A and B are shown apart, each in its own frame.
Chain A
Amino acid sequence: MARKIPEINAGSMADIAFLLLIFWLVTTTMDTDTGIVRRLPPPPDPNTKPPDIKERNVFNVLVNKNDRLMVEGRVGDIRTLRAETKEFLSNPANKEDLPEKRLENIPGLGQFQVSKGIISLKNDRGTSYDMYIQVQNELTAAINELRDELSKQKFGVKFSDLSDKSAIDAIQKAIPVSISEAEPENIGGK
């Protein structure tokens, strides 16, 4: 006698599959890599002389092997670095010893005083990476804050919230990331 086998209830199959799905979603770490983006300069050409830059246009930041800072010839502090960098790059009072500006016509902003200032960052071989990143971070923060201020003034929103491509370009042109990393030297030893 052929007895009918009762059908297995497949109603909970969906729940099991959902559990699998959720397990997968939880376990895969979508580790989005974050970081500070920089552009390295091309290797120096031995035939061309480095361009002459006036002393007032250079902001010297040195980090030694004990992670101590020297900013513009004085002992510096990481906590004041951001404010100092901002003052250097914006030069609001048009001081004699802070960088010159050149008038540039930027589409979207009109005539704008672009600072000629360059931040020169020099580190020792013995500097810790953590300190180096902190300094880079403060310098980047200074530039970002200046960009935010300009963007708020001109477009009414923060730089990071700008969506218009031409507006972003204009701000980037008005306040460029002018961080130069000096050719490495071995001063303090390893």
Chain B
Amino acid sequence: MARFKKEGSKELPAISTSSMPDIIFLMLCFFMMTTSTREVTLKVRIKAPEATEVQKLEKKALVSYIYIGPPTQTKLGTESRIQLNDSFRTIGDIAEFIFTEREARNEVDRQMLTTSLKVDKEVKMGVVTDVKQELRNVGAFKINYSTRKRAPKSNG
């Protein structure tokens, strides 16, 4: 039969917390490595439209982005421009952009490549249609219209 031991003489030694900072630093490093921050500085203003039926885009590594919107620098006018990577481009550059995006992925993933169109809500469809036609021509069929989630109640 066990008895309560007398306190004092056989107290458990406190767990050493001296390695705690190291563990936390490891965690910090892990987070820093895994979270990928996108390195694109937007040169066009993008205020995405809102919709209720949005889906999450999975596998961020397999998404390439096309930005369309009016330039943020007002001296460049208000005409909608296309931004690929870090610079303004034209419709003709999209094919090449898609090819380089494909080259950067491995063979298996190329079919899964999605093009996400990040378009400002005030852009006219003309530019978007041109981009879509260009994407069709190069065979990038999977697209995503980037939209923000809106609460389903406020409709219209």
A contact set with B: CB distance below 8 Å = 10-11, 13-14, 16-18, 20-21, 24-25, 28, 30-43, 78-79, 123-130, 132-134, 136-137, 140-141, 144, 181, 184, 186, 190
Instruction: Answer whether residue B106 sits at the interface, using C-beta atoms and an 8 A cutoff.
Output: no
Whether the pair B21, A35 counts as a contact (CB closer than 8 A) is: no
Check if B141 sits within 8 Å of A132, measured CB to CB: no
Contact flags (1/0) for B114-129 with A, using CB distance below 8 Å?
1010011111111011
Interchain CB contact (< 8 A) of A36 among B17, B51, B122, B126? B51
**Extra pairs beyond A32-B56, A33-B57 (18, CB < 8 Å):** A10-B21, A14-B24, A16-B21, A21-B28, A25-B31, A28-B37, A30-B35, A33-B56, A33-B60, A36-B54, A40-B135, A43-B136, A43-B137, A125-B125, A127-B125, A128-B121, A133-B145, A190-B124
Q: Interface size for chain B: under 10, 10 to 19, 20 to 34, or 35 or more residues?
A: 35 or more
Chain B residue nearest to A189 in the complex (CB): B126
Secondary structure of the A contact surface, majority rule? mixed
- Contact A128/B144 with A35-B54, A36-B54, A134-B51 known, Cβ cut-off 8 Å: no
Query: How far apart are B92's CB and chain A's nearest CB, in angstroms?
Result: 17
Closest to B152 in A: A141
Q: Tell yes or no: B132 within 8 A of A by CB.
A: yes
Q: Chain B contacts of A32 at CB under 8 A?
A: 56-57
Quick check: B145 and A34 within 8 Å, CB to CB? no
Are B24 and A21 interface neighbours, CB within 8 A? yes
| Contact with A13, one of B21, B51, B120 (Cβ below 8 angstroms) | B21
22 A-B contacts (beta carbon < 8 Å): A17-B28, A21-B24, A28-B37, A31-B38, A33-B56, A34-B146, A34-B148, A35-B144, A35-B147, A39-B141, A40-B141, A40-B143, A41-B136, A123-B129, A126-B126, A127-B124, A128-B121, A129-B123, A129-B128, A133-B147, A141-B53, A184-B133
Instruction: Tell me the bound Cα distance from A40 to B91 in angstroms.
Output: 17
Shortest distance from the beta carbon of B58 to any chain A beta carbon, whole Å:
9
Who on chain B is nearest to A11 by CB? B17
Complex partner residue of B121 from A31, A36, A39, A133, CB under 8 angstroms: A133
